[in-house]
Structure 1
């Protein structure tokens, strides 16, 4: 049975709070924030609903980083994506996982804080697009990456048997990431159901084990371990993260299964933490940006974020050359693909 960790949403006759935006200060109860979400239209007001939902109520850095890590592991099951990220062991995430993850979370945090139609949010999208343009990433792979942002939090919760977001919040999340994708010029399916179906079909057709994907996931686990589980707590890090990955995702990256008795109790283990986050008071100007390296309330300096061209030689001892179009030209031989994932 799915455990509901959300607070009761107010009825239509409840007192409504005025709409505000990311510049609002002060502390509000979770109930008042939910009351505001209920007063908004999830399509028209998708940016504000997403900010309040995923940027305020559930913006705790531990939860955000966990969901991001699982979403990134999902992306690494696509060989064409893992090849770009791994880059024969020279990719930013392999060389300096924490810096790479912090920068990516800052980009997403600015989008959520400022919205996909806001000046700062669009500047973050444009900066990411400029960085990615160096690597020849296909629109399909970009669309799949966007899908992981739109759907992975709910996939994790479904895997745990927990209910966190209301239907209206899920609708708003889809329309938010659709807005990001359309600003990027991507052909985002026009309904959440169609986008989800496209995502699962893309996984069935493309998901496979690669050495590069496994190496990137190992780096993700390393960042998770050192960031949240110092010293003797380190032995709990991998089991905790493995509980959030479903079995097909663990299989494709050759990860072990957690003990069966622990896997069966994964939902009840995480439910109290999520219930606390969803029911305690929060600062209304809370943001991922301050959690992962930005300053509270300050504009984000996008120029310092993102990929840096490798200064050290590649595996053959020679520097990576730049193509005339400015893209990095790493070796073109495909990585070894060892097995299909079995996602059917």
Structure 2
């Protein structure tokens, strides 16, 4: 892929067909703009949503890693996310990565029968991945995805869903057949009157703490916590009973998030290198056992 000019990414995407080049459109939309900080934010938000059902919180608390080994748990998941984002759903790398995730899930459902038998949870995860940044962009006052991105992101997540299995088997036939269908599914799932669980609240607080502790120095971690609480939406606050910041704080962080994305997309030069490639170059430059970036620890 040839990279040209000060602002080259939008021009490059314009050349692509969302029905066939969806993996390239996904990569251009994410791997160049999303850094480790932003990916950690996405991990925190994603799993705070994925544990909305009470058995979700029970599962992650019983495994213990989210509570006792917060950074390692984040790194394990982000390692997979980066593989999927960079290589796309039809690659051998992603197939192997999701296969590893399926094996972990299978081991867990033997310990906790039924907790992975709710197919809607898997479908929701695919829908959330496709639509969440579109919804967040609209919430903070930015334009949502283009029609090209909507088509490509739906296709990307639909194809990715073919690799996942629940306790009942494959989930793909249950995934909505359009981006709008994914939006509707996600909204309906989040509007469910999920029962509050202490385990879900404990896990949500641990996820928020991991983000704040990793990226903000001691004494300023309240800033990271306030940011996460402000950008999380009503379903997470309602079900997990986590605090809702005051209106001024929410608007402050929404404006900050909006400003950063706007500057990246409209003002600053487009990156010439993806974040995963930066990870690899850093590892080559400092090839020591402990020199691995935050978000690419092996599972």
TM-score by length of 1: 0.72
Residue of structure 2 in register with 1:166 after alignment: 146
**Which residues in structure 2 correspond to 1:237-276 (within 5 Å)?**
237-276=224-263
Q: Which runs of 5+ in 1 are unaligned?
A: 1-19, 307-344
Distance 2:272 2:195 in 1: 42
Task: Compare 115-124 and 59-68 and name the one that shifted more.
Answer: 59-68
TM-superposed deviation, 1:175? 1.3
Q: Which residue of 2 aligns with 1:129?
A: 102
Q: Secondary structure at the match of 1:256?
A: coil
Q: How does 1:130-209 map to 2 (within 5 A)?
A: 130-136=103-109, 137-138=116-117, 139-163=119-143, 165-184=145-164, 185-186=170-171, 187=173, 188-205=175-192, 207-209=194-196
TM-aligned CA deviation for residue 290 of structure 1: 5.5
Q: Secondary structure at the match of 2:52?
A: coil
CA distance in 1, matches of 2:43, 2:125: 11
- Against the structure 1 CA distance between its residues 295 and 148, is the aligned structure 2 distance closer, same or farther, given a 3 Å change threshold? farther
1:76 to 33, 44, 51: 51
What are the residue-to-residue correspondences of 1:53-64 with 2, within 5 Å? 53-56=29-32, 58-64=33-39
**Partner secondary structure for residue 257 of structure 1:** coil
Q: Is the 8 A contact 2:54 2:200 kept in 1?
A: yes
Could you say if the C-alpha distance between residues 77 and 213 of structure 1 is closer, same or farther in structure 2, counting changes exceeding 3 Å? same
Q: Deviations over 1:277-302 (max 9, x none)?
A: 2243344441358659994799x9xx
Deviations 1:28-75 (A, max 9, x none): 55621110011111121110000010111x212222221221121111
Match of 1:34 in 2: 10
Matches of 1:69 and 1:181, distance apart in 2: 21
CA distance in structure 1 between the partners assigned to 2:58 and 2:277 by the alignment: 28
CA RMSD of aligned residues (A): 2.8
Query: What corresponds to 1:324 in structure 2?
Result: none
Q: Is the 8 A contact 1:116 1:122 kept in 2?
A: yes
Kept in 2: contact 1:79–1:210 (CA 8 A): yes
Q: 2:207 aligns with which of 220, 227, 232?
A: 220
Q: State the distance in 2 between where 1:262 and 1:237 align.
A: 12
- Distance in 1 between residues matched to 2:276 and 2:237, nearest whole Å: 27
Write the distance in 1 (CA, Å) between the matches of 2:6 and 2:235.
Answer: 35
Does the Cα contact within 8 Å between 1:289 and 1:296 map onto a contact in 2? no
Unaligned ranges ≥5, structure 2? 110-115, 165-169
Give the alignment partner of residue 78 of structure 2, picking from 63, 88, 105. Answer: 105
Q: Distance in 1 between matches of 2:281 and 2:131?
A: 25
Distance 1:223 1:294, change over 3 A: farther
Distance 2:219 2:210 in 1: 16
> Whose radius of gyration is greater, 1 or 2?
1
Task: Report the CA distance between 1:182 and its aligned residue.
Answer: 1.8
Pair 1:117 & 2:90 matched? yes
Partners of 1:82 and 1:132 in 2: how far apart? Answer: 15
- Higher percent of residues as helix: 2
* Superposition TM-score, scaled by structure 2 size: 0.82
